Amino acid sequence: MLCGRYDAALFDLDGVIYLGPRSVEGAPEGVEGLRAEGVTVGFVTNNAARTPQTVADHLTRLGIDCGLADVVTSAQASARMLAEALPPAAKVLICGTPALAAEIEAVGLTPVWSSQDGPVAVIQGYDPEMTWPRVTDAAHAVQGGARWYATNPDMTRPTDLGLEPGLGTQIATLRVCLEPGAEPEMAGKPFPPLLRETVRRLSAEHPIFVGDRLDTDIEGAFNAGMDSLFVFTGAHGMRDLFAADPSWRPTHVGYDIRALLKPARTVEISDDTARCGAAVARIDDARVQISGHGTERESQLDALWAALQLVWRAADRGSGADPGPVIEALDQLH
């Protein structure tokens, strides 16, 4: 099994373990199976809106056994980062939820809610009830000299109803008010602090990170020097994978987290042909064609994995290969 290569499995939450109020297909069974195999499980989220206890309670209600120590949020990692950079008791303007403020206070800093309170820093975190006046106030504070932080860059959030705007949209609002090139300091994925904090807490030596986004989850694992598994249950899909730059390319792919309990996919490449299981991918006149695959999801994943190796290799060589026929053929992965 793939999980046999690792001592810990770290999971993104939105789009990987749950979609709003319901669990993702196979998530409870997958977590239970991993624990039965002796694999340590950790839940990692860029979403700073909720407390770790709230996240743990949510997972438990979904049938996934979870304790407080199993959850690490971008709010926690951000608070540690701010505590290392700012003087004790420094005032920090909270452009986020009370859960983010609680983490800031827990590390000895002073959360404030107005630029008129003289903050030396501003931190943005996802808040589903964020108001325009609060974002404007944060912009004024940063323009006035406050140091700018944000918990994570996610532009969208996958939910049971569809994609919704994420914190990245609020960050973009501040960005247009500041000097060209201004960017907040971040702890959340794809930046390393959040995953490093998780590894430290779980005492993991060789973990794998599982995510649904290439720009935060997979790149985050890459930046932390960690293997990754991409799953199709959230934000990104085949087109994103084929277009991925090296730092966005996962070590493994699976439909959902139960892929960790299955054999790892391997590919044999010869010239312009790649084979994974019974599936074969070929480059013919700069277009990728696949054969030998069936209608079953796992068979189509084999074909995808073979095709990805050819497309990525062609991209790295500067030649390119059109994956259009593959995307059209693999109907179980849309």
The DSSP code for 322 is B
- Tell whether omega for the bond before 190 is within 30 degrees of 0, i.e. cis: yes
Q: Which of 12, 70, 127, 212 is catalytic?
A: 12
Q: Which of 14, 127, 217, 302 is catalytic?
A: 14
* 12: annotated active-site residue: yes
- Nearest alpha-carbon partner for 126 in 81, 148, 83, 157: 157
- Nearest alpha-carbon partner for 322 in 286, 289, 270, 294: 286
Interatomic CA distance for residues 42 and 72, integer angstroms: 8
Query: DSSP states of 226-285 as a string?
Result: -EEEEESSSS--HHHHHT--GGG--SEEESSGGGGGSPPP--EEETTEEEETTEEEEEET
Interatomic CA distance for residues 225 and 236, integer angstroms: 22
Query: DSSP states of 43-111 as a string?
Result: EEES--SS-HHHHHHHHHHTT----GGGEEEHHHHHHHHHHHHS-TT-EEEEES-HHHHHHHHHTT-EE
10 neighbors 209 (Cβ within 8 angstroms): yes
3-state secondary structure of 41: strand
* 14: annotated active-site residue: yes
Catalytic amino acids? 12, 14
